Amino acid sequence: MKCLIIGLGSFGKTLAEALTDKGHEVIGVDSEEHRVEEVKDRISVAYIMDATERVALKELPLDELDCAIVAIGQSMDHSLRAVAALRELSVSKIYARALDQTHLSILRAMNIQKIFIPESYAARIFAERLFVDKMGEMM
């Protein structure tokens, strides 16, 4: 699969590396040069660009993507602008990170295929495994 990941902070970078390790082609995008530098040698290609700008996104091979993942975790405004730009450019499968319930509601209204809140998911997994020892028994 060919995936675009917008937002290469802690979550986006880890996701990009994990997908690459599983054999997927990953295109990473972030507006911060240092984030792109951290991941550029681990993924297929990485770009420094403002993904909230439709004109900038047009430079990417959007018609070749299997999915686009908006992993922006600092700004609901930037996330929504990136999602809207991808929608306007006819990207068919868009997945997005929600920062809170309001963000989640807006993304649902935009008919995003998959919406995730990584912190909530991680907390549930941690809670399930918190008191389980190496043998799978409760501690």
Percent of the chain past pLDDT 90, that is, above it, reads 82
79-124 pLDDT, tens digit each: 999 999 999 999 999 999 999 999 999 999 999 989 999 888 889 9
Dihedral of the CA atoms 114, 122, 119, 107 (nearest 10)?
Answer: 10
CATH of domain 2-129: 3.40.50.720
Token readout for 95 is: 């997945």
Q: What per-residue confidence (pLDDT) applies to 134?
A: 63
- pTM attached to this predicted model: 0.88
d(CA 98, CA 116): 6
pLDDT at 128 exceeding the cut of 90: no
Q: What are the sequence ranges of the domains in the chain?
A: 2-129
Count of alpha carbons within 13 Å of 130, Cβ hemisphere only?
Answer: 7
Residue 113 has what pLDDT? 83
Q: What is the pLDDT of residue 131?
A: 79
Q: What is the mean pLDDT of the chain?
A: 92
What pLDDT is recorded for position 132? Answer: 73
* pLDDT score for 20: 97
HSE-CB of 131 using CA atoms within 13 angstroms = 3
Per DSSP, the three-state class of 34 is: helix
In whole angstroms, what is the distance from residue 90 CA to residue 4 CA?
14
138: pLDDT strictly greater than 60: no
